Chain A
Amino acid sequence: MTDMPASKVDAALKPPRNQWWDVWDQFKTHKGALVGLIIFSLILFGVTLGPFLWRIDPTYVDPNPVNMLKLRNQGPSFAHPFGTDQLGRDLLARLMAGGKVSIAVGMTAMLLSLLLGTLIGVLAGFFRRLDGILMSMTDLFLSLPLLPLLLLMVTLFREPLSQRFGTEAGIFMLIVVAIGVTSWMQTARIVRGEVLALKEREYVLAARSIGTPARRMVLRHILPNVMSPIMVSATLGIANAIITESALSFLGLGFPPDFPTWGRILFDAVDQMQLYPLRVILPGVAISLTVLSVNYIGDGLRDALDPRIRGR
């Protein structure tokens, strides 16, 4: 003990490092993921705080018809950095408002699909009796043609829901639920596999031998250990949900026209893309950049959370 160098003693006396610091260290080495994280944070920052700095109402149409006609379809200028659209609305403000909706839809749908996937995966992996039926249900969902069904659900239920909850809230709920219900299957499969492997570990046996009830077993011992695959599928889920939402909006089946989302802005601009290509490119670049950065974050997270790669 006495011949130990001082620095080593210090290291030994320090409280043990949280494992998430190791994950962060590994994550930092993945350049693409780091750039993705920076870009995604910038976009998130722009859409949440941007409207406080750029205070033009995204749905403002000049009430004076002459002014409105003059303001239509302008190119980039000092007053409107990205120009204006076919009704003279400011494109920068619309992009920020649209991004807020698109990202909110992506996040909420991802949370719903994670919740469903984790619940079904843990139940199927932990309780042998439920395994057969839950996994055949997962297979059934995987063999559904998802995009046609999604289109069907959205067209069939948009009217009653928007009457009951108001246009925006109703359609938001509908799209989030539709995307969540059709995208939980991969998460469920991955989580089930992990749970099945974890169940055979000694610490689970030890916990069971002291009489831990099933609920606490799942919440305290199983769930924290399946966090890493869940986090990876969370990032992929956001990307998937943003693309699906904008595809729905692009097909004209998403949010109503006066309620901007990136897909909707792109869809509105397609008719005049020969004259004003910028109006198509900007929302498209916004969607693509967001999805690309989220996918890179997912890639980096997968490497960082894999203990076989970490520390190498």
Chain B
Amino acid sequence: MLTYTLRRLLIAIPTLLFISFVIFMLLDLAPGDPLADQPLTIPPEVREKMRAALGLDQPAWVRYLLWLKQFFWTEPLHTFDVMFGTSFAEGGQRIISWQFRSPAMDVIWQRLPQTLWVVGLAYVVGVIIALPIGIISAYRQYSWFDQIGTFVSMIGFSVPTFFTGVVLIIVFAVNLHWFPSIYDTTLKVTDWESFWKQVRQMIMPVTVLALFNASQISRFMRASMLDNLGQDYVRTARAKGMSEKVVVLKHVLRNSLIPVVTVIALGIPTIFGGAIITEQVFKVNGLGQLLITAIYANDLPMVQTLTFIFAALTVLFNLIADILYGVLDPRIRYD
């Protein structure tokens, strides 16, 4: 298991390098000049000098390596500095966002809490709803509960989140005035009143995302439970005279959670990047919204950094899911 983990970690490095190279080249080959928004009155030779000052006259591979150095050396060192008050990263050139005129990572750290709160909470709520629904639907297969559950989960992943979000806004914000339609990120939770305000503005985005997540996870849970309920060991457990509760909630549930846990782990990176649309609908200024505005503003360093962070998280959680699968299920041994 340890050698497998190590090997997977080693494979992850070239994967990440390849992805970073793809992202870098995609942006490099794309049309669009970083100096395009400078006034046309700048003489050509000055323009050339500005390009040289930005390092744009270097060949692509030099710029790629420099970017790698910025990303993997200067930025982590700077994070370390901030945490422990040291000054290792002194003088190192950080990745500067063009639209904010400040280091891209600083902006990302500012935006992270909103995303983690809204999208993370939605994921947790989604999982908490999905597991019992999946279990009951499988245990009472083809009952009315199962029929309704299947139908709702079908709707949950067929109706796009931008539509559910907009419908919720029309019903609860416009017509009923229960919740605000726009997420106020400047709100600071200091007392009960502001806490209640925060809860109210989080309800709708969390509901939309939780419904979407729950519909997918509950389908997996149901299928996995159904697979296990038909197994011989279930009959044996019943034949031994175990109570139905022990059979279902101990034997079957534990075994059928194995694939579901890996599915849940695989979904975690989407918490950071996948809620682009929901954040856009409710005007939550988290990471997804940051990416969209960076794309609109042609802010290449920010786009590169964000996409690469999303890619790194996806690779990491793929790895974690694979290893978890091996740890949880002793029948699976990677050689």
* A positions within 8 Å CB-CB of B: 32, 139-140, 142-145, 147-149, 151-153, 155-157, 159-160, 239, 243, 246-247, 250-251, 253, 266, 270, 273-274, 277, 280-281, 284, 287-288, 291-292, 295-296, 299
Contact = CB atoms under 8 A, between A and B. Distances in A.
B158 A288 contact: yes
A158 B105 CA distance: 28
A253 B291 CA distance: 13
16 contacts: A140-B15, A143-B318, A144-B19, A145-B311, A148-B273, A148-B291, A151-B292, A155-B295, A159-B31, A243-B160, A246-B160, A277-B170, A277-B174, A287-B160, A291-B160, A292-B154
B27 interface: yes
A180 B223 CA distance: 28
B162 interface: yes
A284 B166 contact: yes
Contact of A292 (B32, B155, B169, B274): B155
Nearest to A239: B158
Given A145-B307, A152-B27, 11 more contacts: A140-B18, A140-B19, A148-B291, A148-B307, A250-B162, A250-B280, A251-B280, A266-B163, A281-B170, A287-B159, A288-B160
Contacts of A139: 318
Contacts, number: 114
Given A142-B318, A273-B166, A251 B292 contact: yes
B158 A295 contact: yes
B166 to A, nearest CB: 5
B26 A291 contact: no
Interface string B258-295: 00000000000100011011001000000000011001
Nearest to A159: B31
Q: Report whether over half of chain B's contact residues are helix, strand or loop; otherwise say mixed.
A: helix
A156 B291 contact: no
Contacts of A147: 273-274, 276
Interface in B204-237: none
Contacts of B27: 152, 156
A228 to B, nearest CB: 18
Contacts of B26: 149, 152-153, 156
Contacts of B303: 152
B291 A151 contact: yes
A284 B163 contact: yes
Interface of B: 15, 18-19, 23, 26-27, 30-32, 151, 154-155, 157-160, 162-163, 166-167, 169-170, 174, 269, 273-274, 276-277, 280, 291-292, 295-296, 303, 306-307, 310-311, 313-315, 318
A295 B163 CA distance: 17
Contact of A148 (B167, B276, B296): B276
B167 A284 contact: yes
A156 B158 contact: no
B162 A266 contact: yes
B15 to A, nearest CB: 6
Contact of A280 (B18, B170, B273, B291): B170
Given A140-B18, A147-B273, A159-B31, A247 B311 contact: no
A239 B292 CA distance: 24
A280 B155 CA distance: 18
Contacts of A273: 166, 169-170, 174
Contacts of A143: 15, 19, 311, 314-315, 318
B219 to A, nearest CB: 10
A152 B167 contact: no
B158 A291 contact: yes
Given A140-B18, A156-B26, A277-B170, A247 B310 contact: no
A139 B15 CA distance: 10
A147 B306 CA distance: 12
Contacts of A274: 170, 174
B163 A287 contact: yes
Q: Which of B166, B170, B273, B296 has the most CB of A within 10 A?
A: B166
A251 B277 contact: yes
Contacts of B30: 156-157
B155 A266 contact: no
A156 B303 CA distance: 12
In the A-B complex, the 7 residue pairs with the smallest Cβ-Cβ separation, listed nearest first, are A156-B30, A145-B310, A284-B163, A292-B158, A288-B159, A291-B158, A277-B170
A291 B307 contact: no
A68 B170 CA distance: 27
A71 B215 CA distance: 42
A142 B166 CA distance: 30
Contacts of A253: 295
Q: Which of A152, A153, A243, A273 has the most CB of B within 10 A?
A: A152
Contacts of B15: 140, 143
Contacts of A159: 31
Nearest to A290: B158
A142 B157 CA distance: 20
Contacts of A153: 26
A29 B208 CA distance: 33
Given A143-B15, A143-B315, A147-B274, A152 B307 contact: yes
Nearest to A247: B277
B166 A266 contact: yes
Contact of A149 (B18, B31, B151, B307): B307
Nearest to A148: B307
